[in-house]
Chains A and B, each alone.
Chain A
Amino acid sequence: MQRRQNAQAAVMLAPATGLISVFVFVPMLLTIWLSFQAWSTQTGFETARFVGVQNFIDIFSNSSIGRDFKAALLNTAAYTALSVVIILPLSVLLGLLVHQKLAPGGIFLRTVLFATYMVPMIAVALVFSKLYSPTEGPLNQILGWIGIPAQSWLSSPQTALWSIVLLNVWQQIGYFTVLATAGLTQIPDALHEAARIDGAGPLQRFFTITLPLLGNTLLFSAVIAIINSVQVFEPVALITQGGPVNATNVLTYHIRRVGIERAQGGLGSAMAVTLMLSLIVAIAALFAFARSRAVKP
């Protein structure tokens, strides 16, 4: 029986594991291998020439290659941190609004928020480029009504990255609100009831019951938000091309520019490996942080 199941399992698994091997695992191993090679993306893998850690030295050097890459790495880190720091608390607040039964409209709110998550990022980028337009855009007009001076949004190095974070939050928040709402539904009403009888106010109950019990949901949300954030590409490729003055040059855009458009496959792969290692470190740190604060049942 066991042998028969091994054979059947192989048949069932063959299509998925075959495809994922050829199009995910093999490329991932090749990325690592290529990061130690000098290689033009326009040629076959056989033309790759081993150069040790030279690619890594180059991307962290003070040459223009190094400066651009380090700027992209820092921009990506800032973009990711800002996105996570805004998305997580906002998703809990909106989740509470969707979850509450005091007033009607929760499901309606979820529908509107989640619908934006379905919009292609390229359309989001197009629309926001018009919303942000300093003169013809409605955002500066609205700010003017409430007495806030016009902003330069995407056209100034100080505000460009923030503007893309805002656009990203708008597009993604519905997904994270649904996750937060799912987490909230898992918390037994009896806990709140008991705390209320003991005289705990709504704020106190939020911080002693709701937030600690949302821990796992928030950890999952943070991991997904990080992974999603490093993938930001469309607004940069379409509107800013990494500018002004490298302010929105992020890794997905930069790695593609170096590795595909300039065909510097070795350098691009070293950058991709660095990104992968940074992600592993960031997520490991996140788990360590979550464990140190976990509530003991």
Chain B
Amino acid sequence: MTAAAFADTRPLERPHLRVTPGRTALVLLIIVIAVVAAFPLAWMILTSLKTPQETMQVPPVWLPATPSLDAYEKVAGVVNLGRSMFNSAVIALITTAGIVVTSLMAGYAFAKYQFRFRDPLFAILIATMFLPPIVTLIPLYRIVGYLGLNASLAGVVIPNLANAFGIFLMRQFIRGVPDELIEAARVDGASELRVLFQIIAPSVLPAIAALTLFAFVYHWNSYLWPLTVLQGNTDAYPIVISLSRLLSYNRGAMNTGLVMAGATLAVLPPVILFVLLQRFFVDSVVASGVKG
């Protein structure tokens, strides 16, 4: 995680700070908070490298005597790890692609077109951003059943292919694209879809990156909807559901290391993505909070 701190492009102000007691105290405070914040994840990784005996010792041992990857090998034998990771990737990638396309289209319309009921329609769509998913879960479960999508990956993906946050984010950024740029393309005879994907999309690339990352992480991590729609179809389980099954397996076998190995693997993709592209995440949170 330290690598990303250096990857941040914000210029360092006043690079040569004098050492004072106040400054030292602040740095110490920051280090203590960072250690506390990182502790659960550090514990997860350390435990995944312990032997089964070490994970059960009282009082707990912090560092494995000889770190081993046994737990990672065993976890692959308990759940179909490759399949679960693949399912998670399919769910997250397709959903994200859908959200980016539908959000770009709707965001363009709301940002640059004049049409009847534009503002009330936008307001109603944005209101759904504040609707907790549980409120619609029961009928949604049945609707997806009617569409014949129960217990399938399609049932996990299709209801999430558009969302209000994406429309909001795209509208905010597309508004900043100069009208002259769009007019010039139209004069050249470009269709509206061409204008959107060849002129506008490249000029709002940072926003697209932010939306991509946010949507990917959200849908990689999401649990309630896949759990509800997939029922017992273990072949379609994403990694987060397979993980929860590891715990029930663990109750009999008492192998905490196994669970922690699975958790480590599930955590890696979203966290790595974040560490690589932290700036876009931060920008989109700021955009949703301040510009609104």
Contact = CB atoms under 8 A, between A and B. Distances in A.
Contacts of B130: 223, 227, 279, 283
Contacts of A16: 102-103, 105-106, 125, 162, 167
Contacts of B273: 118
B56 A136 contact: yes
Interface in B160-214: 160-164, 167, 192, 196
A265 B56 CA distance: 43
Contacts, number: 306
B59 interface: yes
3 closest Cβ contacts across the A-B interface? A30-B139, A27-B136, A16-B106
Interface string A101-136: 111111111111111101111111011111100011
A178 B260 CA distance: 28
Contacts of A9: 109, 113, 115, 118
B48 to A, nearest CB: 10
Contact of B271 (A23, A97, A115, A144): A115
7 contacts: A122-B244, A123-B266, A126-B247, A127-B44, A130-B259, A251-B134, A276-B135
Most buried by B among A2, A23, A25: A23
Q: Is the interface of A mostly helix, strand, loop or mixed?
A: helix
B253 interface: no
B129 to A, nearest CB: 9
B59 A12 contact: no
Most buried by A among B10, B33, B139, B263: B139
Most buried by A among B41, B109, B220: B109
Interface of B: 1-2, 4-5, 8, 10, 12-14, 17, 22-24, 26-27, 29-31, 33-34, 37-38, 40-41, 43-44, 47, 55-60, 62, 101-103, 105-106, 108-109, 113-116, 118, 121, 125, 128, 130-143, 146, 158-164, 167, 192, 196, 217, 220-221, 223-224, 227-228, 240-241, 243-244, 247, 256, 259-260, 263, 266-267, 270-271, 273-275, 278, 281-282, 285-286, 289-290, 292
A107 B8 contact: yes
A124 B14 CA distance: 38
Nearest to B289: A179
Q: Is the interface of B mostly helix, strand, loop or mixed?
A: helix
Contact of B139 (A27, A173, A237): A27
A54 interface: no
A275 B55 CA distance: 41
Interface of A: 2, 5-6, 8-13, 15-20, 22-28, 30-31, 34, 41, 44-45, 94, 97, 100-116, 118-124, 126-131, 135-138, 141, 144, 170, 173-175, 178-179, 182-183, 186, 217, 220-221, 223, 227, 230-231, 233-234, 237-238, 251-252, 255-256, 259-260, 265, 268-269, 272-273, 275-276, 279, 283
Given A97-B29, A256-B137, A130 B43 contact: yes
Contacts of A141: 59-60
A269 B139 contact: yes
Most buried by A among B10, B55, B133: B133
Contact of A106 (B23, B30, B116, B161): B30
Nearest to B166: A16
A255 B132 CA distance: 12
B275 A234 contact: no
Contact of A118 (B27, B136, B159, B217): B217
Most buried by B among A106, A251, A260: A260
Contact of B224 (A220, A256, A272): A256
B271 A119 contact: yes
Contacts of B13: 101
B102 A19 contact: yes
Contacts of A273: 135
A106 B285 CA distance: 17
Contacts of A6: 115-116
B247 A227 contact: no
B138 A138 contact: no
B128 A24 contact: yes
Nearest to B46: A138
B128 A111 contact: no
Contact of B221 (A121, A129, A217): A121
B34 A108 contact: yes
Contact of B125 (A20, A105, A174): A20
A233 B223 contact: yes
B60 A138 contact: yes
Contacts of B105: 12-13, 15-16
Contact of B26 (A102, A129, A173): A102
B223 A120 contact: yes
B267 A119 contact: yes
A137 B260 CA distance: 13
A31 B285 contact: no
Contacts of B12: 104
A272 B138 CA distance: 9
Given A23-B136, A34-B139, A108-B34, 14 more contacts: A18-B162, A24-B128, A102-B17, A108-B5, A112-B38, A118-B267, A122-B241, A127-B40, A136-B56, A138-B43, A182-B285, A183-B290, A230-B132, A234-B244
Nearest to A135: B58
